[in-house]
Every structure is written in structure tokens, then in C-alpha cells.
Amino acid sequence: MIYRNPIIAGMHPDPSICRVGEDYFLVNSSFEYFPGIPVFHSRNLIQWDLIGHCITRNSQLTIRKGFPNETGTFAPTIRYHNGTFYVVCTNVTYGGADDGNFFVWTKDPFGEWSDPVWLDCPGIDPSFFFDEDGITYYIGTASGQIYLCQIDLNSGERISEYENIWAGTGGNDPEGPHLYKYNGWYYLLISEGGTEYCHMITVARSKSVKGPYESCPRNPVLTNRSYGLSIKAVGHGDLFFDQNNNWWSVCLGIRPISYPYRHNLGRETMLVPVVWDKDGWPVFGRNGLLDEEIETDRLPLTDDTCEVGLFPDMVLDDFRGVLRKEWNFIYNPIEGAVELGTEGLSLQGNSVSLSEADSLAWIGRRQEHHVFYARTLLYFDPQNEGEEAGLCIYMNNKHHYEIAITWVNGSRILMFRRQIGSLWKVEQQIPYEKMEVEFFLNADKEHYFFGYVKGYERIVLGSGETAYLTTETGGKFTGNYIGLYATGNGRACCNKAVFKWFEYVGK
């Protein structure tokens, strides 16, 4: 059968995976978005359900504001050991509260996770390795080195000195380490080249956990740099074997939209078949290259009726019950800003505008497809100058396009606006009598189109290039979100904005 990469589309970088019997659990970085660290479950490795998040309570972690797309939860690792799941991760705050490395644990990955246990270990990209002799190793990245130390899992205390074990093969940013034991060898998998177009996975091995580590003669074992392949920047991977003893890796990669390369979906999760060569080194993908379409007969538990790959993703959300798991806040959520009721989703805007890197009345879901359409029915009665509620495509506070109902010079209007870095412009304003409006946002690879529905007519109010809302233009580690928001633009909002339903259809 053929499966397609990515296996988890939209911003889902730095994947890490563990298997328990025939069940697979996978986590990703989520940066400033909350809930943090999405947890996915699968039984066939290609269809993944979002089952929850590790960080769901404000009391667990404070996410640093400011620094768009480069604070919060970076590069988690998930491991299962003696009946408990552990996720070890970094909260990047640049000196703010709750900075550094921590782990959370649970017995039930479908439920809640523990409070963080903070670790005295520097740097980023932490991983755990449980050795056969019962010792728990922490592996991390700091000062251009991969290091290791022992920790006590109960207290989180570091119980040995740090020891540098490898610095990679000479590429910049050796990072994202994971350690495994197989056939009497310790294998150390890392990434080099930075999380951009020169990204690569390299591997080294040793008979002793502390080294010396010998580099694989075929390094890098995975990279798409300098190849005309549709997936670029592959790296930051984790290695595992399935219940049939077939080996695989999950890693990140991107799908650029244009040349020169730019990408707007963030870094996505890919699945790579792995085999071992006669000398005991892993061979990733097609001799070290990752294809978008992969033919394999090794996927676990897949029968002919199982659809594979990037199926159209369709969601019609009527906002009844509890908020669906794919909706995120930016930073820790504000008490009372977002509520679900019989009417739908209500957002109580505060004074924070879309252009500020601060907690605002906003929820968003990842853009997972280059081509999609989204629609929402909004009821909003703005009463003061600047009060606004609408639908946006959002990379960060300095890069977003939006359509909104707002109040300008004493009257209600529909508005289309774009912000690209320090360029900020209201492109369209039209008078609007009603308080209810159906907005739409359609995207293809080149443009985002915004408009509203009038009777049977769909009226486009404006459009913006996708190229300006890409990581290369103004982002860092995340991808684009489709957001619903309300704001008083400098003042409190009198009335709540009510979104009655939301639809997303990806193609």
C-alpha cells in the first residue's frame, strides 16, 4: 500500500513516539500555544487521533509572552517505562518564570498529566533513556554538545555530572538527541544543520553508554537537502520498532509553497521506514531520502479498507459541549474570555489587539492544508470605536490578515485588514447594518481570500499573499492558524462576540 507524508499535517514539529503493545503515542512541540504538547494516538501509524495535551492547566506552566513563535514548549520526548508515560520537554522563556527542562507523567495518556517535575539540566531538546541496569539517563543539548547525566525519576534530582558524549559530524546546531540500545550497541540519533533547508539526521554508536561514540560512515542517514523532493528540511527524528519488529522513524519536514522556498504550514510530522544494513547501521527512507508517497507492506494493522494519507479534513463545529481539542489559545488562557453556551462560542474581548504579543480573546486551529476553506457565523454588536470581532489567518502578532465586524465613526462596518511586519493597513471598509454575518476564508497555495455571504452571494472583500505569512518572511518555529477573535483595540469590549459555528474543509 501507499501512504503519504505528512502523517500529521500542520504545525506539528519535533515528533517523538513510543509504543505500548499495539498502541502508539506521539507528541509534538507547541511553543506559545495552549494547551501545550499535543498527544496523538494511533494503531496503524498513519491515522492519528488527537487524544489530549500534556499541559492543560495554567498552574502547570507559564508561557512567556512576547518573542512570537519562539517561547513555550520545545521538542518533547515521550517514553513509556514500568507502566508510566513520561514526557520531558523544555519551556523556553528567555529568563522568565518556569524556565528550563521538566517532565510530566501519567498512567493514562488519554487523561490528564502531572504537574511538571523541574530538572537541573541546561539547554534544550531533552530525552530520557531507561537502561537495562535500571539507570535513568537524561540526554540533552547545550553549548553545541550532546550531553548525558543520570537522574532520579522520583525526585527529578540530577545524580551525576554532565558528560558530553558527541558533537555530531560538524553540522551546525547538533540537537534533538535520542538514545536507544539495540543488538548490544547504544545508538545516538541527533539532528544537525539547523531546522531549515540543511536539516539532517545523523547517528553514532558505542558499546558503552558514555561513549566514545563512533559516527556512522553514511552520515547523514536522512536529509533532503539539495534534492528536488517536495518535502524539505527533514530532521529532528525519533526511532522505534513496531509489534512486527519493523523499524520506523518519525521526523519533521516541511512542504514549501513556492520558489524561492517558503512555507506557511509550519513543520509537520513525517513517517520514515527504516531498515538495518549488514554492518548494523540504520538506513532511513529511500537510501537516506524522504519521499512524500511511500509504498510499503509493513504498516501494522492496516487492512484494505483503511484510507491512507492526507484525507480531506472536514470539521463542522457547532461549539456545543466542550471545546474540541484542536482549538488553541495563544499563551495561557485568560479566565472567562472564552465560553461555550447554547448560542455557540462566545469571546469576551479585552483591550489586547491582534497586533500585540499578549493574551487576547482568540482561539485558533492549525492550517493543515495548502488549499482549504473555512466559514463561520458571527453575531457581534460593537458599541464603541475600535471594538472588533472576526476571522483571521494568523502567523503571529506581526503577520496576519483578518475580516471583522467593527465600529468606526459611529457606524457598524465590515473590514478587511492586513499586517505584514511593520506594514499595517485597513484595505476595505463597507457599511453593514446587521449584527450577524457569515465570513469565509479560502486559501490556495498563493493567496488567502476573505469575504462574507450576502443572500446567495459570496462577496470577496480582499485577499493577501500566502508568501508574506510564511516562516521565511516573518515567523520562526510555528505554522499558520485560522483564528476567531474579539478585541477592544486598547479598551475593554462591551459585548461578547458569539461564533455560532465554524467549518474547515481541507483539500
Nearer to ligand 6LW, 35 or 176 (CB): 176
What residues numbered 249-268 form the site for ligand 6LW, per CB under 6 A?
A: 252
Ramachandran area for residue 489 (φ above 0: left; ψ -120 to 50: alpha; else beta): left
Whole-number minimum distance, CB 315 to ligand 6LW, in Å? Answer: 26
Contact present, 194 and 176 (Cβ < 8 Å): no
**C-alpha cell recorded at residue 491:** 479598551
CA–CA distance, 266 with 256 (Å, rounded to integer)? 9
Q: Does 125 bind ligand 6LW (CB under 6 A)?
A: yes
Task: Identify which of residues 14 and 387 has a Cβ nearer to ligand 6LW in the complex.
Answer: 14
Q: Which is nearer to ligand 6LW, 233 or 441 (CB)?
A: 233
**Smallest separation, CB 299 to ligand 6LW (Å):** 25
The Cα–Cα gap between 278 and 199 comes to: 26
Q: Write out the binding residues for ligand 6LW, residues 191-210 only, by CB under 6 A.
A: 191, 195
CB of 377 to ligand 6LW, least distance (A): 36
Site string for ligand 6LW, 149-188 (x = CB under 6 A): --------------------------xx------------
CA nearest 17: which of 102, 107, 75, 79?
Answer: 79
CA–CA distance, 52 with 326 (Å, rounded to integer): 9
Judged by CB under 6 A, the chain residues 401 through 440 that form the site for ligand 6LW are none
Which has the closest alpha carbon to 265: 477, 490, 41, 90?
Answer: 477
Q: Confirm or reject binding of residue 75 to ligand 6LW (CB under 6 A).
A: yes
Q: Which amino acid is residue 413, in one-letter code?
A: I
Our CB check for ligand 6LW shows the closer of 224 and 463 to be 224
Neighbours of 454 (CB within 10 A): 12
142 vs 308 by CB, closer to ligand 6LW = 142
Residue 13 touches ligand 6LW, criterion: CB under 6 A: yes
Q: Are 66 and 397 in contact (CB under 8 A)?
A: no
> Do residues 87 and 103 lie in contact, with contact meaning Cβ atoms separated by under 8 Å?
yes
Active site residue 175: yes
The verdict on 471 binding ligand 6LW (CB under 6 A) reads no
Is the CB of residue 340 less than 8 Å from the CB of residue 322? Answer: yes
477 lies in the site for ligand 6LW, by CB under 6 A: yes
Half-sphere exposure of 345 (CA within 13 A, CB side): 27
Select from 33, 40, 74, 247 the one that contacts ligand 6LW (CB under 6 A): 74
Show the binding pattern over residues 375-394: x = contacts ligand 6LW (CB under 6 A), - = does not: --------------------
Question: Which residue is catalytic, options 175, 238, 317, 402?
Answer: 175
Closer of 124 and 467 to ligand 6LW (Cβ): 124
Rounded distance between C-alpha atoms, residue 34 and residue 323, angstroms: 13
By beta-carbon distance, which residue lies closest to ligand 6LW? 195
Q: Which of residues 46 and 75 has its CB atom nearest to ligand 6LW in the complex?
A: 75
Is 121 a binder of ligand 6LW (CB under 6 A)? no
Q: Are 139 and 146 in contact (CB under 8 A)?
A: yes
Under rule CB under 6 A, residue 236 binds ligand 6LW:
yes
With beta carbons less than 8 A apart as the criterion, state whether 390 and 376 touch: no
The number of beta carbons lying within 10 Å of the beta carbon of residue 142 is 15
Task: Report the alpha-carbon distance of residue 351 to residue 356 in Å, rounded.
Answer: 10
Q: Applying CB under 6 A, which of residues 14, 32, 388, 402 lies at the interface with ligand 6LW? A: 14
Rounded Cα distance between 100 and 121, Å, is 8
173 carries an active-site annotation? no
Residues that bind ligand 6LW (CB under 6 A): 13-14, 29, 74-75, 124-125, 175-176, 191, 195, 235-236, 252, 477
Active site residues: 14, 175
